[in-house]
Amino acid sequence: MQIQLTDQKQEFNKRPTKTGRRSLSHSISQSSTDSYSSVGSVSSEDESSPRDKAQTTSKGFSDFCIKNIKQADFGRREIEIAQQEMPALMVLRKRAAGEKPLAGAKVLGCTHITAQTAVLIETLIVLGAQCRWAACNIFSTQNAVAAALAERGASDCVNLTHPFILDDGGDLTHWIYKKHPSLFKSLKGIVEESVTGIYRLYQLSKAGKLCVPAMNVNDSVTKQKFDNLYCCKESILDGLKRTTDTMFGGKQVAVCGYGEVGKGCCAALKALGAIVYVTEVDPICALQACMDGFRVIKLSEVVRQVDVVIACTGNKNVVVREHLDRMKNGCIVCNMGHSSTEIDLASLRTTELRWERVRPQVDHVIWPDGKRIVLLAEGRLLNLSCSTVPSLVLSITATTQAMALIELYSAPEGRYKQDVYLLPKKMDEFVASLHLLTLDAHVTELTDEQAKYLGISKHGPFKPNYYRCVLCLTHTTTHIHDVFFICIVINIVINCPHRY
C-alpha cells in the first residue's frame, strides 16, 4: 500500500498511475509489499510485487494494490472475529441506519492494517464516509485483511488529492506540512492519537503555524487507560514470548519510560517474577515508579547486567550504540513506544556488525567478538508486529477516533479554531458506556439530590473536561472542506507511551 500525491484535480477515487507515485517513507510505501509474515496473514508462494501484477475482485473492482486478493475470504473471517469484541463500533453502525453523520466526508487513512482497523474503516463507510487507506507499518500489515477490504471496495492505495487523513504517529501530517504546505493549509481538521503526533501539533500551535483545528484523542481517559495501559499490559508478554520463548521469572528487565505504556509493561513483567528497572526523565513519573516498587536508574547503570531492554517513551535515540555495545550476550532489545526511532538502528547497520535473521521478526545482531543481541521487529512496535492486540481495546480507541472525527466534521463553523483541543468529556464517557454491556457492568445512577449536591447533570459529564486520569499526547484526524486526514494510531494504536 503506497501513499501518493497526484494532481489535486484528480478524482478522489481514481487510483494514481505508477508515474505519479511518491513514497512517504519506507514503512508506508513498503508495508503491504514487503511484510515478512504479519500476524493473521497467509504466506504466498508468489513473492512478486503487487505493483507488477493486475488483480481484480470477484466484482471486477481493480482500484487497489495488495499482495494477494485470493486471501480475501480468510481476511473476512478475521474481521468477523474482531467484530465480536468491538461492540461500540457495531452500535454506531446500527445508529447510522437512518442518519449518516459522515455523509460526504472523504477519509484518507494511513494506519496499521489489521482486522480491528478494518472494522473501523468499514464503520466509517457505513457512517457515510468515502475511504482510501494505506498501511503505516511493514510488519503489522495483515495482507489477508487488506484483501478483504479490497474485495468490499475499500481502496488501499492512498491518493493525497483531498484534505482528511487518518494517520498513525503523525508522520503523514508532518510530511504534508513540510513537503506540501499549501495542501496542509486546506485541511479542515486533525485528530491525533499518538504522543509524537501531539508533540508536533503543540509545537506547530506554539509557533503559530497550526492552521487547522486538531483534536487530541490520546489525552482522552479512555484512550490512555485502555489503549496504552491495559492493552500493553497484556500484549507485551504475548509479543516477547511468541518471538523469544523466554521465561521471565528472575530475569532482569530495563523499561525505558514510565508513562501509561511503561506502567503496563512493568506490571506485567513484575507479575511474572521479573526484576524490573525503570528509566525516566520526568520526576513525577519517576516518583510513581518508586511508589510502585520499581528502582529508577539510568540505563547506563544497568545495561551490562539486564536480560531485556524495552523502550517505550515515544522519543528518539533512547537506546543508542553506546548502550548496545555494553549489553551482554543474548540481551533482548525491543520497542513498545511510537516508532523505530527509539532504538538507534542506524548505528547497527555498519560493516563490522553482522545481521542474522533467526525467525520472522527476530534478528541477531552479531559483534566481531561473537557477542549478539536479539533485536525484535527491527525496532518497530513489538505488540503490533509480533503479536496481536486485544480487539476490545481497539474498539475503545477506534470508537473514540470515530467520535472525534464526527465532532470535527459536523461542528458548526467557528466552534474549533486553529488550536489543539481535548475530546469533549461527554464523548469520552459515552465511548466507555458503550462497552459496559459487553462486560455485564451496571452503572449506578445519581439521584437528583446527589446531582444537585455535586453541581453536575445526573447524566454526565461527571468530570470537567480538563480532568485526566493521565496526561499524554496523541495521533491525527484531519478534514479538508469535505475531506478528513485522520492521524490515528490504532494502536494503534495503539501504543503511545506517555505520561503520568
The mean pLDDT value for 462-475 works out to 57
Q: Between these two residues, 158 and 447, which has the higher pLDDT value?
A: 447
Phi and psi (nearest 5°) for 202? -65, -35
**Among 312, 310, 280, which residue's Cα sits nearest to residue 295?**
280
- CATH number for the domain harbouring residue 215: 3.40.50.1480
Question: What pLDDT is stored for residue 104 in this prediction?
Answer: 87
Q: Is residue 156 part of a domain?
A: yes
Q: Between these two residues, 235 and 167, which has the higher pLDDT value?
A: 235
Q: Is residue 95 part of a domain?
A: yes
Alpha helices in 44-151 (DSSP H): 72-83, 87-95, 115-126, 143-151
Same domain? 304 vs 375: yes
For the chain, the average pLDDT equals: 81
Judged against a pLDDT cut of 70, whether residue 41 lies above it is answered with no
CA 365, 367, 373 angle in degrees (round to 5)? 40
Cell of 388: 496481536
Same domain? 105 vs 213: yes
Distance between CA 487 and CA 195 in Å, rounded? 12
Question: What pLDDT is stored for residue 159 in this prediction?
Answer: 53
Same domain? 67 vs 150: yes
**Among 282, 322, 271, which residue's Cα sits nearest to residue 299?**
322
Judged against a pLDDT cut of 50, whether residue 81 lies above it is answered with yes
Among 425-434, 440-449, 476-485, name the one with the lowest average pLDDT. 476-485
Q: Between these two residues, 496 and 301, which has the higher pLDDT value?
A: 301
Any residues with CB less than 8 A from the CB of 459 and at least 6 apart, and which?
A: none
Distance between CA 263 and CA 470 in Å, rounded? 12
The mean pLDDT value for 201-219 works out to 89
- Binding residue ranges for substrate: 114, 168, 193, 223, 227
Cell of 43: 504466506
**Among 395, 294, 380, 384, which residue's Cα sits nearest to residue 345?**
380
- Binding residue ranges for NAD(+): 259-264, 280, 383
Contact assessment for residue 482 and residue 187, using Cβ atoms and an 8 Å cutoff: no
Please state, for a pLDDT cut of 70, what percent of the chain lies above it: 79
The residue type found at 159 is N
Among 278-292, 414-428, 439-453, name the one with the lowest average pLDDT. 414-428
Handedness of CA 132, 138, 142, 147 (dihedral sign): positive
Highest mean pLDDT: which range of 191-195, 336-340, 381-385: 381-385
Last residue of a domain, one of 331, 360, 386: 386
Same domain? 244 vs 349: yes
Question: What pLDDT is stored for residue 22 in this prediction?
Answer: 37
Same domain? 416 vs 366: no
Q: How confident is the model at residue 13 (pLDDT cuts 50, 70, 90)?
A: very low
Among 83-87, 283-287, 348-352, 386-390, name the one with the lowest average pLDDT. 386-390
Distance between CA 355 and CA 203 in Å, rounded? 37
Same domain? 189 vs 247: no
Q: How confident is the model at residue 474 (pLDDT cuts 50, 70, 90)?
A: very low
Distance between CA 178 and CA 286 in Å, rounded? 35
- CATH number for the domain harbouring residue 326: 3.40.50.720
Q: How confident is the model at residue 46 (pLDDT cuts 50, 70, 90)?
A: low
Contact assessment for residue 384 and residue 139, using Cβ atoms and an 8 Å cutoff: yes
Burial 203-242 (b: 16+ CB within 10 A, else e): ebeeeeebebbbbbbbbbbbbbbbbbbbbbbbbbbbbbeb
Any residues with CB less than 8 A from the CB of 415 and at least 6 apart, and which?
A: none
Judged against a pLDDT cut of 60, whether residue 43 lies above it is answered with no
Distance between CA 10 and CA 378 in Å, rounded? 37
The mean pLDDT value for 259-279 works out to 96
The mean pLDDT value for 173-200 works out to 82
Give the CA count within 13 Å in the CB-facing half-sphere of 138: 17
Q: Between these two residues, 226 and 45, which has the higher pLDDT value?
A: 226
Judged against a pLDDT cut of 50, whether residue 470 lies above it is answered with no
Question: What pLDDT is stored for residue 172 in this prediction?
Answer: 73
The mean pLDDT value for 20-42 works out to 37
Highest mean pLDDT: which range of 44-48, 292-296, 426-430: 292-296
The residue segments making up the domain with residue 139 are 58-223+389-433
Q: Is residue 51 part of a domain?
A: no
Judged against a pLDDT cut of 80, whether residue 134 lies above it is answered with no
Handedness of CA 204, 206, 209, 210 (dihedral sign): positive
Q: Is residue 46 part of a domain?
A: no
Question: What pLDDT is stored for residue 178 in this prediction?
Answer: 87
Q: Between these two residues, 448 and 15, which has the higher pLDDT value?
A: 448
Please state, for a pLDDT cut of 90, what percent of the chain lies above it: 47
- Omega of the bond leading into 412 within 30 degrees of 0 (cis): no
Same domain? 290 vs 404: no
Q: How confident is the model at residue 8 (pLDDT cuts 50, 70, 90)?
A: very low
Q: How confident is the model at residue 168 (pLDDT cuts 50, 70, 90)?
A: low
Last residue of a domain, one of 433, 462, 490: 433
Judged against a pLDDT cut of 50, whether residue 465 lies above it is answered with yes
- Binding residue ranges: 114, 168, 193, 223, 227, 259-264, 280, 383
Same domain? 63 vs 189: yes
Q: What pLDDT digit, counting tens, does each position of 101-122 carry?
A: 999 888 777 788 899 999 999 9
Question: What pLDDT is stored for residue 390 in this prediction?
Answer: 87
Judged against a pLDDT cut of 50, whether residue 344 lies above it is answered with yes
The mean pLDDT value for 286-295 works out to 97
Q: Is residue 368 part of a domain?
A: yes
Distance between CA 299 and CA 325 in Å, rounded? 13
Q: Between these two residues, 267 and 132, which has the higher pLDDT value?
A: 267
Question: What pLDDT is stored for residue 66 in this prediction?
Answer: 83
Same domain? 190 vs 264: no
Same domain? 70 vs 104: yes
The mean pLDDT value for 169-188 works out to 80
**Among 243, 307, 297, which residue's Cα sits nearest to residue 273?**
307
The mean pLDDT value for 181-207 works out to 84
Last residue of a domain, one of 377, 411, 433: 433
Q: Is residue 402 part of a domain?
A: yes
Cell of 360: 520472522
Q: Is residue 7 part of a domain?
A: no
Q: Is residue 479 part of a domain?
A: no
Q: How many domains does the chain have?
A: 2
Distance between CA 25 and CA 31 in Å, rounded? 10
Judged against a pLDDT cut of 90, whether residue 371 lies above it is answered with yes
Q: How confident is the model at residue 141 (pLDDT cuts 50, 70, 90)?
A: confident
Same domain? 200 vs 274: no
**Maximum separation of any 2 CA atoms in the chain, in Å:** 74
Question: What pLDDT is stored for residue 164 in this prediction?
Answer: 61
Same domain? 179 vs 314: no
Judged against a pLDDT cut of 60, whether residue 25 lies above it is answered with no
Judged against a pLDDT cut of 50, whether residue 34 lies above it is answered with no
